[in-house]
Amino acid sequence: MARIERRNFINRKNKRLLAEESELTRISTLKKRLIRVRIQTRPYSIFHGLGIYFCGYCGKPMDLYTPRAFTEGERIPTLYYACRDKCKHSVPHRTDFVDRIVMQLVQKRVKENLKKPRKTKGYEEILEKFRLIDELQSERMRLLTKMHYASYNRDAVLAEIREVEEKIEKMKDEVASHFGEDFSGSPLLYPLFETSPEELMDLDFMYLREIARIFVYRIRSFNEFLLLRVRPLNPDEMAKDDGMGKIVHINLRSQKRYKTIELPSKEDLKPPEVLEETEPFKDLKIPQDSEEEDIEYL
């Protein structure tokens, strides 16, 4: 009996080792295929370009990668967050998966610690400012690229860049005016209370980026979990705050990596009811031999 149990234990261990080896092989193959996304005119994920997402093993930034190159305006392939140095310990994670679980955590913390805003009048106005900031940042990146190639007109381009940067700072100050030490009552938080976690990522992209910028200080990525420094929201968290934010762990193994597919119910899969038996040829008259001469053949 003991020999059988030992054999079963060894078999289970070997299966686990083979599964881990197979997974490491797939990850290694994926890392070799990934190409860094170098388009800087616009962000393609929530944490792309925010400067708060780092590898938990080597400390280098987590950049945006894709299995195939693409240009602006083309269909965007699957995107991954991966260590800039592609260190051997780190594993790439899909951007849609990381963005969703982190933003759902932010939404949960806001609902649990802050009061629901009563006024929603300024929400659309704030969203419009986010869109303007996005456009201005894209314009700034375009001018920086232009200055690199148009060195003969450097002073004029620098003047345009300074003007755009002043507009960006002005817009950011206007957005920041909606937030004080107490976030309760800000119209910017209204969608977080009215949207379900499953539909959270359907909100305005620039709005979600701004929410992430406000409530998430830093993310360190490990293979099986994320280590976050988030903004303290209640008196207890503020009293214990060391200036770096509250530490929160997200277990990646226990998270659903894809949205749940809505399958039809059992009632919808039932076959249609059988109608009463009918006799479709009941009144059909079949000609006899004597009537054959009256039949017209075509």
Burial class (CB in 10 A: 0-12, 13-18, 19+), 203: middle
Confidence category of residue 99, pLDDT binned at 50, 70, 90: very high
**For residues 185 and 212, is the Cβ–Cβ distance under 8 A?**
no
pLDDT tens, residue by residue, 189-241: 888 888 899 999 988 888 888 889 889 999 999 988 899 999 888 888 888 88
Whether the model pTM is above 0.85: no
Return the ∠ at Cα 207 (arms to 114 and 60), rounded to 5°. 95
At 295, is the pLDDT very low, low, confident or very high (cuts 50, 70, 90)? very low
Distance CA 208, CA 14 (A): 44
Residue 47 pLDDT > 70: yes
The CA–CA distances, whole Å, from 68 to 48, 118, 175, 249, 285 equal 18, 46, 37, 32, 70
Counting Cβ atoms within 10 Å, is residue 100 exposed (0-12), middle (13-18) or buried (19+)? Answer: buried
Dihedral sign computed on CA atoms, order 192, 194, 198, 200: negative
Cβ neighbours of residue 213 closer than 8 Å, sequence gap 6 or more: 50, 52
Q: What percent of the chain has pLDDT over 70?
A: 66
CA distance 75 to 34: 17
Least confident of 23-37, 221-235, 256-270: 256-270
Q: Rg of the Cα trace of the chain?
A: 30
- The more confident residue out of 277 and 178 is 178
In this prediction, residue 30 carries a pLDDT of 67
How far is it, in rounded angstroms, from Cα 296 to Cα 278? Answer: 30
> Which percentage of the chain shows pLDDT scores above 90?
13
How much is the average pLDDT of 246-269?
64
Stretch 90-112: mean pLDDT: 91
Q: Tell me: pLDDT of 272 over 60.
A: no
More confident position, 235 or 174: 235
Tokens of 34: 């990934």
Whether the predicted pLDDT of 21 surpasses 50: no
pLDDT value, residue 204 = 83
Confidence at residue 120, expressed as pLDDT on a 0 to 100 scale: 63
**Rounded mean pLDDT of the chain?**
75
